[in-house]
Amino acid sequence: MRNYLKNIFAIKNNEFVIVAWSFLYFFSLLAAYYILRPVRDAMAIVGGVQNIPWLFTGTFLIMLLVSPLFSLIASRYPRKIFLPWVYYFFILNILFFFLAFTYSKSNHIWIARIFFIWISVFNLFVVSVFWSFMADIYNKDQSRRLFGLISAGGSIGAIIGPIITSSIVVFIDFKNLLPISAVLILLAVYCIYQLKKTTSKQKYNYSENHIRSEQPIGGTSFDGIRLMLKMPYFRMISGSMVLSSFLGVTIYMYMAELVNQNYSNTNEHTQIFAIIDILTNALSLISQLFFVRYSIKKLGVGVTLTILPIVSTIGFILLSINPIFIILAIFQILRRSIGFGFSKPTSDILYTVVSRNARYKTKNFIETAVFRGGDLIATWIIKILNLGLSSISLICIPVALIGVILTLLIGAQYNKFYKKLSRKTNG
């Protein structure tokens, strides 16, 4: 088995244990999230599809408040302290929502709206923190070999999670899914402790700022914003994030409207969104296990990042010609699977060539506040324009083409940083 894994996934002997814990960590995290994600999508419908722009507005405002707070914590406390407590905080949140849904005597509309905003914040923060943590463990060369495999652990969890939801939600009610998710996050915390324990015991080729560091990251709570505005590299990544978010939200809003029209209650809505997640994440898993590493190796980071906007361009061309539900559903599944299978592990590599301060703070700010800012812009543009799916698709085509150009520029900048860091390491 070890020889098989070495040949297929390019794992070295001293990397097996650490990769296994990283794999299980991401599995637990995304299984927990994807048990709840279909519930979140159903909650958007409970509050009224027409109110989705307000939900994204609330999410963005919360992100603006929470992101500097996270940077402040990262500045003052070592990672071995603050990482587990990030997850403990979210576990308490999940249990609060479980009690709120269970014992609320009135309707769930406001609880549903708050839950939608919370789960959107939860997802971006815990996943962003995970990849920052991984960038602390693996150096730049290991990240190119192993991030695809580690991402596959998340994709397996992202398949198991919605399978659990779609199989039992109509029998146990959606609120009883929340404690299951909380237990899985506890397992993720256990993996964090095991990763720190394992890396402290064995000889391991750490990244430049590995997790055994006892020192806080330092800096200020606004370093993430400052570095994003200062460096063209981060500005380009942010721009690409906003464009991709615009395209994704466009599909999401029209999909929510069609699901609401065709299915009658919250549990059925949850089940449909869970099935879509299963198909999406199954394709993502295949990409992460067998294709992304070779794409990065043969085509490079920049070209691999262009796959998503190229497919987006083709998909919106098809929707502009024939805007029917089946094309929209297939396009959503395909686009999201490419995003998780190719774009996410590749974009996380972008941060392995920057400082530890940027790795935690700027990455976190871009993947939370900037990402949700893109969501906010998209939802209000779509609401104000009030166009049909065919017409809005014509607007999305040039947006996707700009995304192709921008990802190529990001790849070129990454290569410069990579070569500079390699010369510094070797010299």
Per-residue model confidence as pLDDT tens digits over 229-272: 888 999 999 999 999 989 998 998 888 887 777 766 777 777 77
Inter-residue contact 122 to 96 (CB < 8 Å) = no
Q: Is 210 left (phi over 0), alpha (psi -120 to 50) or beta?
A: beta
How far lies 157's CA from each of 15, 141, 183, in Å?
A: 21, 26, 14
pLDDT score of 44 more than 80: no
* Geometric angle at alpha carbon 419, from 289 and 200, rounded to 5°: 60
pLDDT tens for 404-415 read: 999 999 999 998
Inter-residue contact 319 to 327 (CB < 8 Å) = yes
d(CA 365, CA 358): 10
H helical segments located in 291-388 = 292-299, 301-321, 325-338, 344-349, 356-357, 363-365, 371-385
d(CA 245, CA 372): 8
* Geometric angle at alpha carbon 388, from 382 and 390, rounded to 5°: 110
Query: What percentage of the chain reaches a pLDDT higher than 70?
Result: 87
User: What's the whole-number mean pLDDT along residues 358-364?
Assistant: 75
> For residue 155, what pLDDT is reported?
80
* Geometric angle at alpha carbon 122, from 121 and 126, rounded to 5°: 120
Structural tokens at position 223 = 């370093």
pLDDT band at residue 215 using 50, 70 and 90 as cut-offs: low
> For residue 31, what pLDDT is reported?
92
Q: Which range is most confident: 58-67, 332-341, 362-371?
A: 332-341
* Residue located via tokens 């505005």: 229
Q: What is the identity of the amino acid at 306?
A: T
d(CA 204, CA 40): 40
- Predicted TM-score (pTM) of the model is 0.70
> For residue 276, what pLDDT is reported?
85
Structural tokens at position 310 = 């190229």
For the four alpha carbons of 153, 151, 140 and 77, in that order, the dihedral sign comes to: negative
- Cα–chain-centroid distance for residue 106? 33
Q: What mean pLDDT, rounded, does the chain reach?
A: 82
Closest CA to 377 of 115, 59, 44, 42: 59
260 CB contacts (<8 Å, ≥6 apart)? 45, 49, 269
Which CATH entry fits the domain spanning 12-203+214-426: 1.20.1250.20, 4.10.780.10, 2.70.150.10, 3.60.110.10? 1.20.1250.20
pLDDT band at residue 212 using 50, 70 and 90 as cut-offs: very low
Domain ranges of the chain: 12-203+214-426
d(CA 158, CA 164): 10
For the four alpha carbons of 385, 391, 396 and 399, in that order, the dihedral sign comes to: negative
- Cα–chain-centroid distance for residue 264? 29
* Residue located via tokens 């906007």: 309
Inter-residue contact 144 to 293 (CB < 8 Å) = yes
Distance between first and last Cα of the chain: 37
pLDDT score of 381 more than 60: yes
* Residue located via tokens 């109110």: 51
Concatenating the DSSP letter of every residue in 211-264 gives TT--S---S-TTHHHHHHHH-HHHHHHHHHHHHHHHHHHHHHHHHHHHHHHH--
Inter-residue contact 210 to 342 (CB < 8 Å) = no
> For residue 79, what pLDDT is reported?
64
d(CA 377, CA 247): 11
> For residue 208, what pLDDT is reported?
46
Query: Residues 395, 398, 399, 400: what is their CA dihedral angle, to the nearest 10 degrees?
Result: 120
